[in-house]
Structure 1
Amino acid sequence: MTTIFSKAGTKGVPRADRERQILAAATKEFGHHGYEATTIATIAARVGVTKPLLHQYFGSKQDLYLACLNPVGDRMLDAIRAAMGEHDVKAPPTPLRVLNALFTALNGQRETWFVLYDPSLPPGSDAAHRAAYYRDAIDDLAATGTADLLHAAGTSDPLDADALKHAWRGLCTALVRWWINHPNQSPEAMSQRCARLFEASHTILAAADDDST
């Protein structure tokens, strides 16, 4: 199957617009294929520009990755912080608020989650360090949220909180992957689906507790 690339980067396109085109294409490539498998040549072809021009605008592949990563990481952190900072008693529980914030932040570029959570980044590189910074910041927020949830449930075991934090990251990744495979699902539909799944899980666990007594 032959991949057809657009020619968005033809002559006469203002530099700012061309840079946006390159970043959008690079984000999609990094998100879908990972850093290691993505090439500057593929991104240039997708946009319809030459490799030298792309290097002129963004430098190396790592520089281009960082130009894609930083707005993604900032957007996710801002969304999660805003969701966790909401204290309206009528608002959904914190986990659902955070998921809704993530779906909203990722809408239009769902693959950006995998720009941040990319296992193929070169160890020790600036790209790996910067991605780790954002992942650690998100994990810190998750750790705060999970510790609060467990405390409200009557447990304060730090290993419980750590396990739940890792489970939460895995859940978010699985949900985003499912969402990518179902492009007709809006952020609102995903949030509603998660609310139903959480409610179903609560009902199932409650029934299991009743059966064990």
Structure 2
Amino acid sequence: MSADGVTDRRDRILRAASRHFASNHYDKVSTVAIANEAGVNRGWLYHEFGSKRDLYLAVMNRTVRTPTLPSLSGLVASDDLGAAADKVVARWLDEVDSHRESYLALHRVHTGSHSDPVIRGILREMHEGTIDSVLATAMSDPAAAPPAARAVVACFGEFAYQALWEWLESGRLDRSRVQTVLSHALVSLIELVPEVVG
């Protein structure tokens, strides 16, 4: 099989796995169902990924590589912080929408549906990167931020995850309302961080 064929097969498996992990708890996901949806036999699935756990990690890694928040560099210096924050959130929601299944799968892990320490480590790495990105709007060295500042930004992350779930899963908020809520929250966060850092 050509390299393109292998890449296409792997991508089909990952897309199918993302949908299944987003719709079901880890223990309920069937590798047979994933293989059938991807149009491969289960032997190929294990050949490509080794195990169900490795496939799950591949789905999570794919999600982590998706930008979790566009760069906030220069946001504070903008003439209209609200409008600038709104643009950042809009770009982020575009990314989320284009990787909907992966984000739903990520939300299941984030809310405790799986206790694998490796997966938890992937999530922690992603969260810390997002915290650094936000803190960089208020200070030159985010690593030097006091624990309280990191905690405040982490609270925003929890809020954002819930807002995404209300849009993508429950449907109680549409995208426009989520954008409004998160834009205002981001402005408040940016204004609050210097107080906590100081």
Partner in structure 1 of residue 181 of structure 2: 194
CA distance in 1, matches of 2:95, 2:20: 19
CA distance in 2, matches of 1:192, 1:128: 27
Residues 158 and 172 (structure 1 numbering): CA distance in 2 closer, same or farther, change over 3 Å?
Answer: same
Preserved CA contact (<8 Å) 1:44 1:54: yes
Partner in structure 2 of residue 165 of structure 1: 153
Partner in structure 2 of residue 116 of structure 1: 106
What is the Cα deviation at residue 55 of structure 1?
A: 0.8
Pairs aligned (count): 173
1:12-91 to structure 2, matched below 5 A, reads 14-77=5-68, 80=69, 82-87=70-75, 89-90=78-79
CA distance in 1, matches of 2:57, 2:24: 16
Give deviations 1:44-91, integer Å, cap 9, x for gaps: 2322332212111222112212222223212225xx2x4312447256
Aligned residues: CA RMSD: 3.7
Residues 85 and 121 (structure 1 numbering): CA distance in 2 closer, same or farther, change over 3 Å?
Answer: same
TM-score by length of 1: 0.62
Q: Which amino acid aligns with 2:14?
A: L
**Percentage of identical aligned residues:** 20
Partner in structure 1 of residue 94 of structure 2: 104
Decide which structure has the larger Cα Rg and report it: 1
Residues 52 and 92 (structure 1 numbering): CA distance in 2 closer, same or farther, change over 3 Å?
Answer: farther
CA distance in 2, matches of 1:98, 1:33: 31
Preserved CA contact (<8 Å) 2:163 2:178: no
Give 5+ residue unaligned stretches, structure 1: 1-12, 150-155, 203-213
CA distance in 1, matches of 2:165, 2:123: 19
Partner in structure 1 of residue 126 of structure 2: 134
CA distance in 2, matches of 1:193, 1:34: 31
CA distance in 2, matches of 1:139, 1:38: 32
Give deviations 1:65-120, integer Å, cap 9, x for gaps: 2222223212225xx2x431244725654654543232122122223224334123
Q: Secondary structure at the match of 1:83?
A: coil
Q: Which amino acid aligns with 1:23?
A: L
Residues 139 and 55 (structure 1 numbering): CA distance in 2 closer, same or farther, change over 3 Å?
Answer: same
Preserved CA contact (<8 Å) 1:110 1:180: yes
Preserved CA contact (<8 Å) 2:35 2:41: yes
CA distance in 2, matches of 1:92, 1:123: 40
Q: Which amino acid aligns with 2:78?
A: V
Give 5+ residue unaligned stretches, structure 2: 140-144, 189-198
Q: Which amino acid aligns with 1:113?
A: Y
TM-score by length of 2: 0.66
